[in-house]
Chains A and B, each alone.
Chain A
């Protein structure tokens, strides 16, 4: 029962309450950069969910069974970023070889994920916060879903903004930031849900 409760709490908090993009500011760059079209937002989201989950599943055991026993935790940032970079490269090669259709739709977004701070951020937070493997993996997955939710919602708003008349000074980025502010405000409404 506690396991089930844990799972629910992790899902709800990572997707809604502590949404990694809108309340913890991780992964802002792709959030602002790839949100112009819903189709590219969908592609990016899919790639991020996959990489984040795998990265969470790989980095947690490495931290627990390699870095911690040998007292090397100060190397975690360095180790994790290299693992993520390598992982992204591997996924790219595998997709290209075995599932070319998926590669064509997600491929361009994959290299961008290496410097997506949400991925590194989630792996670093995982090893601090979660003591069990399944929790870490689940949190990474839920963080990916939360990222996808925010990105897809926001891309819808930006597609609408395209057709609006906007004061000259606000064209481009400023209005997108203001829109993000309103989106973030709506997510702030989840604060306190389930007493998290």
Chain B
């Protein structure tokens, strides 16, 4: 693998391999909590924090963790950081904590984090892993913000909780319903396919069904690795 600069690694996560729009990893949160923009920012930043910390720790420990038990070890490290985030959020951002609900704790099984640990942090030094975590995390946050902006403006006629027309006018309920989440995400993914004008994502890239291991990683990991070589 040729050496990439820190900036390239960062940019890679933010744009070229945006976890939500390009890799289609970790799809539960982007669909579930994007009914309002403030939720999206909270969730995005919480995930970014966990991703950066777990990437750094896993990368620092990459020679210590035996290969056979790496997945349980990674999950334990990630779960530790998620617990930290949820305790801090419970204490200082109680309303956000309530509206994110169980999805905050489900960051543990967010495939982006385990995926990056397996694909990047366990093979690279600490500083590039930090950059990768930050890029991927911010890319995830940006994706959440875009989806939630569309859903909140169309569905609630408001943005970050500020209502445009007062409470008398209601928006299109469809975009707040679960169905709207799938719809908006589908449209945005299609848009990204047009913008990047690359081959549309292969059907078997469908994502994180495979995250627990590189061998099982539904195809996207293998493809990226093949490209890297």
Contact = CB atoms under 8 A, between A and B. Distances in A.
Interface of A: 22-30, 32-34, 36, 74-75, 77-78, 81-82, 85, 108, 111-112, 114-117, 120-121, 124-125, 128, 167-178, 180-182, 184-185, 187-188
Contact of B208 (A29, A170, A175): A29
A121 B110 CA distance: 12
Contacts of B106: 26, 117, 120-121, 124
A184 B79 contact: no
Contacts of A75: 83
Interface of B: 24-29, 31-32, 71-72, 75-76, 79-80, 82-83, 86-87, 102, 105-106, 108-111, 114, 174, 177-183, 185-187, 189-191, 193-194, 200-213, 216, 218
Contacts of B75: 81-82, 85, 114
Given A116-B109, A180-B182, A82 B210 contact: no
A135 B72 CA distance: 30
Nearest to B204: A36
A32 B216 contact: no
Contacts of A117: 28, 106, 109-110
A46 B183 CA distance: 28
Contacts of A173: 24, 186, 189, 200-201, 203, 205-206
A190 B108 CA distance: 31
Contacts of B182: 177-178, 180-181, 184
B204 A81 contact: no
B213 to A, nearest CB: 6
Nearest to A168: B200
Contacts, number: 168
A30 B108 CA distance: 16
A26 B211 CA distance: 16
B79 A77 contact: yes
Given A85-B71, A108-B216, A188-B178, 18 more contacts: A26-B28, A32-B27, A32-B209, A33-B209, A34-B209, A78-B79, A81-B109, A111-B213, A112-B209, A112-B211, A117-B106, A120-B108, A172-B202, A172-B205, A174-B190, A177-B182, A187-B178, A188-B177
Contact of B108 (A29, A77, A180): A77
A77 B31 contact: no
A34 B60 CA distance: 34
Contacts of B31: 25, 28
B185 A125 contact: no
Contacts of A168: 193, 200
Contacts of B203: 36, 171-173
B63 to A, nearest CB: 23
B220 to A, nearest CB: 10
Given A29-B111, A29-B211, A112-B210, A24 B32 contact: yes
Contacts of A108: 216
B109 A33 contact: no
20 contacts: A26-B106, A29-B211, A33-B208, A77-B82, A77-B83, A112-B211, A114-B71, A114-B109, A115-B109, A115-B111, A124-B106, A173-B203, A174-B186, A174-B200, A175-B186, A176-B206, A177-B182, A178-B183, A178-B186, A185-B174
